[in-house]
Structure 1
Amino acid sequence: MDNKQNKRETGIRKEELAAEFLTRQGVKILERNFRCRQGEIDLIGRDGRYLVFFEVKYRKTARNGMPAEAVGYVKQQRIRYTAQFYLYSRRYPEDMPCRFDVVSILGDQITWIRDAFC
């Protein structure tokens, strides 16, 4: 098995772990791995009145930085454009309250960063 496939399998497992964590926190997961030409969103869910677009980032150790630090400006913009397409394609109203959150997984520690794209 090559390294790219190993990373993808690890990503799938960590996204599942994040979804389970969020569900325990009261989030209703609506979609996983939404893809379109603009990009991909790991998880989409409802948290109260908010439609939330989640980016899940995992690092085994902090040696190369914290997981959330990997969600830079360019990645944030790609997620925003993908979210716009999602809202349009699913016919959500224009005034739908939305939020962009990051679920950071460092080793076994999960941190939920709400409204991460300020």
Structure 2
Amino acid sequence: MQGPGDWYEDAATRWLCAQGWQVVQRNFHCKLGEIDIIALDGEYLVFVEVRARSNPRFSSAAASVDRRKQRKLLRAARVFLQRNAQWRARPCRFDVLAFNPRQSMPEPAPQWIRSAFSA
């Protein structure tokens, strides 16, 4: 059974593919963290964090990627690269796709934050 997070990750994957990206892996897990989507954007290997907010009274979806979450993503990305040597020579970046509540949209468009943070 899919939860709301899965729906947003599916929507993010569709959006990335529509932009011409190639998804390498979804839901990479290790003991240090998890990466929602790993994809190729041209020469870049991009680690994508998907965030969503359903209630506009709380901080934006993008703002929820705080320092603690960034550190977990960095650690998980290092593990991914250690386990997958074929990607090590690529330049890497960390993007955020944030879905914020909108009215009357069948599938909300994400807010794309390219190079949201760096190592």
Counterparts of 1:32 and 1:95 in 2: how far apart (Å)? Answer: 20
Matched, 1:71 2:65: yes
* Amino acid aligned to 2:112: W
Structure 1 position 26, deviation (Å): 1.1
User: What is the aligned partner in structure 1 of residue 114 from structure 2?
Assistant: 114
Structure 1 vs Structure 2: percent identity of aligned residues?
Answer: 38
* Amino acid aligned to 1:115: S
Counterparts of 1:38 and 1:50 in 2: how far apart (Å)? Answer: 23
Matched, 1:45 2:33: no
Structure 1 position 86, deviation (Å): 0.2
Structure 1 position 94, deviation (Å): 4.4
Matched, 1:32 2:29: no
In structure 2, the gaps of 5 or more residues are 102-107
RMSD: 1.6
Cα deviations by residue, 1:69-88 (Å, 9 ceiling, x for unpaired): 00000100110010001011
In structure 1, the gaps of 5 or more residues are none
Matched, 1:85 2:79: yes
Higher helix share: 1
Counterparts of 2:68 and 2:59 in 1: how far apart (Å)? Answer: 18
Number of positions where the alignment pairs a residue of Structure 1 with one of Structure 2: 112
Please give the TM-score of this superposition, normalised by the length of structure 2: 0.88
Contact in 1 for aligned 2:45/2:87 (Cα 8 Å): no
Structure 1 position 22, deviation (Å): 0.8
Counterparts of 1:44 and 1:20 in 2: how far apart (Å)? Answer: 13
User: What is the aligned partner in structure 2 of residue 99 from structure 1?
Assistant: 93
* Amino acid aligned to 1:78: K
Instruction: Give secondary structure in 2 for the equivalent of 1:18.
Output: helix
Structure 1 position 63, deviation (Å): 1.1
